[in-house]
Amino acid sequence: MTNEDDRLNKGRALAARLFKGAPRSRPMGREMTGHTMAHLFGDVWQGEGLETEERSLITCAVLTAMGKDAELRLHIRGARNLGIERSKLEAMMNHVAHYAGWPNGVSALRTLDEVWEQMDAESPGSHA
């Protein structure tokens, strides 16, 4: 196995852990998917200095600030799959709203509600 294969496998394993139960998203294209799995999830997300849960919360904060609800939806699921409590996500979104704009914070909170309700309906009692 090459180093690239190892990075790709590590990235795929982490993405599977984060996004377990997520509806299949539209394909990004083979090359973009490969870069995402190998570099983003195989290298960046697994680098030193931050725990996976911290990276997840940071990612949700950035997506909240940018108003990227489609991507935020997926990463909220990932945060919950990692055991990050809803109250922590709500507090982060409230904080970000004061720096990145109230509409982004409100939209993120709505997205949080939708994802949480969807995950509860999928398998009651099995999520944090």
* Segment 62-119, tens digit of pLDDT: 999 999 999 999 999 999 999 999 999 999 999 999 999 999 999 999 999 999 999 9
| Global pTM exceeds 0.85 | yes
Contact 39, 70 (CB under 8 A): no
Asked whether residue 79 falls in the same domain as residue 126, the answer is yes
Q: What CATH code is carried by the domain that includes residue 55? A: 1.20.1290.10
Helix 102-122 to helix 52-66 angle, to the nearest 10 degrees? 130
User: For residue 10, what are the domain limits?
Assistant: 1-48
Number of domains in the chain: 2
What is the Cα–Cα distance from 29 to 15, expressed in whole angstroms?
Answer: 16
Asked whether residue 43 falls in the same domain as residue 62, the answer is no
Unique residue bearing structure tokens 């799959």: 81
Instruction: Reply yes or no on whether the pLDDT at 128 is more than 80.
Output: no
Neighbours of 83 (CB within 10 A): 10
Q: Which helix (H) or strand (E) holds 31?
A: helix 30-35
Asked whether residue 79 falls in the same domain as residue 42, the answer is no
